[in-house]
Amino acid sequence: MIISRSPLRITLGGGGTDLPSYYKKKEGFLISAAINKYVYVTIIKPFAEGIYIKYSKIEKVKKISRIHHPIIRELLRLEKLKIPQIEITTLTDIPSGTGLGSSGSFTTALIKSLYAHNKKLIHPQELAELACHIEIDCLKEPIGKQDQYIASYGGVTCFTFKKNGKVIAKPLKISPHKLTELEDNLLLFFTGYSRKAGHILKEQDTKTKKDEGKMTDNLNFVKRLGFKSRKLLETGKLSQFADLMNEHWEFKQSRSKKMSNKNISKWYYDGLKNGATGGKLVGAGGGGFLMFYANDKEKLRKKMFQNGLEEMRFNFDFQGTQTILS
């Protein structure tokens, strides 16, 4: 049996600039943090012939072309990963559609498990590139590259997305003390809304491809906020970083009418009135988790509890995608 896991993530600045429609014109930049909530993929060789897949559905097929799950199908089509007799099972700490990058985490965990099954090693850069190739190039998903890269590398990492498609990963240069303070003061609350990121990102992608000035200007500004966030975090000015979270959220909402709703807006402003100094919705928008930076965490927790929102406590993950049993 082989078990691999990939961390989920939160974005700390520059989100949205990792889509090809933007970075191929302007270059993208963002800060992402892996968290200790995971997608797990297990692989075993079954006694019977065939391909067995267990996720929210159960598939049993004899040919790769008959697999319904698109990511699994495309990966098993690759000659170097083709396995005629296999059982794949996936489990997650957090359901998909919650804005934490679960699709990219699943893809990297599956690749890691397939490589381990074939007794091969894969570097985080190669792992992320292959995951992006499957999701973006093969399946034409209108998504960015953040999720695959942060899942592969882990940590709190700055990514630069070059016009030629190359991605440069560098750890955020934050002191250990301030890193602990950041981790302690960031809180996540589930809104109860789930959505497919592609629905919102497709709208952003289309507007950017059409060279609509408003969308490009929005992303240019968000990228500048990402650079400012890096500077503030690396110099330990966390209260000013919290202010940028609010500024980012205001601009992010203007990308799509699907980005927020009345309840999410109410909870966001309730948070700012009750212990939080900064906040935003994590991921593409439309649901998932509200993330706050809070000085008075207990006051914030009390208010969010009154609103019926469940907190998900977390720590940063510094291992990235790992095979934990082979």
* Residues 282 and 203 reside in one and the same domain: yes
* Residues 231 and 116 reside in one and the same domain: no
Say which DSSP state 64 is in.
G
- Which of 79-83, 157-161, 230-234 is least confident? 79-83
List CB contacts of 225: < 8 A, sequence separation 6 or more. Answer: 13, 14, 244, 247, 248, 251
* Residues 99 and 169 reside in one and the same domain: yes
* Residues 136 and 243 reside in one and the same domain: no
* Residues 95 and 126 reside in one and the same domain: yes
Q: At residue 198, does pLDDT exceed 60?
A: no
Query: In the predicted model, what is the mean pLDDT of residues 62-91?
Result: 92
- Of 96 and 259, which is predicted with more confidence? 96
Identity of the amino acid at 227: F
Q: What is the CA radius of gyration of the chain?
A: 20
What does pTM read for this prediction? Answer: 0.93
pLDDT tens-digit series, residues 217-237:
989 999 999 999 999 999 999
Instruction: Give the pLDDT band (50/70/90) at residue 201.
Output: low
Q: Where are the beta strands (DSSP E) in 95-199?
A: 156-161, 167-171, 186-190
pLDDT tens-digit series, residues 4-17:
999 999 999 999 99
Q: What's the pLDDT score for residue 196?
A: 60
* Residues 120 and 132 reside in one and the same domain: yes
Q: What's the pLDDT score for residue 168?
A: 98
* Residues 40 and 148 reside in one and the same domain: yes
- Of 201 and 294, which is predicted with more confidence? 294
Instruction: Give the pLDDT band (50/70/90) at residue 59.
Output: very high
Cα(43)–Cα(94) distance, rounded to whole angstroms? Answer: 20
* Residues 58 and 86 reside in one and the same domain: yes
89 in Cβ contact with 42 (< 8 Å):
yes
Cα(69)–Cα(72) distance, rounded to whole angstroms? Answer: 6
Beta bridge partners of 32: 11, 157
Domain that holds residue 190: 176-312
Beta bridge partners of 158: 31, 170
22 in Cβ contact with 211 (< 8 Å):
no
Q: What's the pLDDT score for residue 241?
A: 98
* Residues 140 and 239 reside in one and the same domain: no
Q: Quick one: what percent of the chain has pLDDT higher than 70?
A: 93
* Residues 141 and 276 reside in one and the same domain: no
pLDDT tens-digit series, residues 176-190:
999 999 999 999 999
Q: What's the pLDDT score for residue 211?
A: 59
Instruction: Give the pLDDT band (50/70/90) at residue 193.
Output: confident
pLDDT tens-digit series, residues 274-326:
999 999 999 766 788 999 999 999 999 999 999 999 999 999 999 999 999 98
SS3 218: helix
Q: At residue 45, does pLDDT exceed 60?
A: yes
* Residues 28 and 133 reside in one and the same domain: yes
Reported as half-sphere exposure (CB side, CA atoms, 13 A), residue 10 has a value of 27
Question: Is the Cα torsion angle 279, 282, 128, 315 positive or negative in sign?
Answer: positive
List CB contacts of 256: < 8 A, sequence separation 6 or more. Answer: 200, 203, 204, 285, 286
Read off the tokens for 287: 């649901």
Q: What's the pLDDT score for residue 195?
A: 63
* Residues 189 and 295 reside in one and the same domain: yes
Helices 146-153 and 124-132 cross at an angle (nearest 10°) of 160
Q: According to the 3-state scheme, what is the secondary structure of 65-96?
A: HHCCCHHHHHHHHCHHHCCCCEEEEEEECCCC
CATH code at position 199? 3.30.70.890
Instruction: Give the pLDDT band (50/70/90) at residue 213.
Output: confident
CATH code at position 41? 3.30.230.10
Q: What's the pLDDT score for residue 206?
A: 60
Name the one residue in this structure whose structure tokens are 């800060």: 31
Say which DSSP state 134 is in.
I
pLDDT tens-digit series, residues 83-126:
879 999 999 999 888 889 999 999 999 999 999 999 999 999 99
Mean pLDDT of all residues belonging to the chain: 92
Q: What's the pLDDT score for residue 203?
A: 55
CA angle in degrees (0–180, nearest 5) for 83-67-89: 65
Number of domains in the chain: 2
Cα(13)–Cα(221) distance, rounded to whole angstroms? Answer: 11
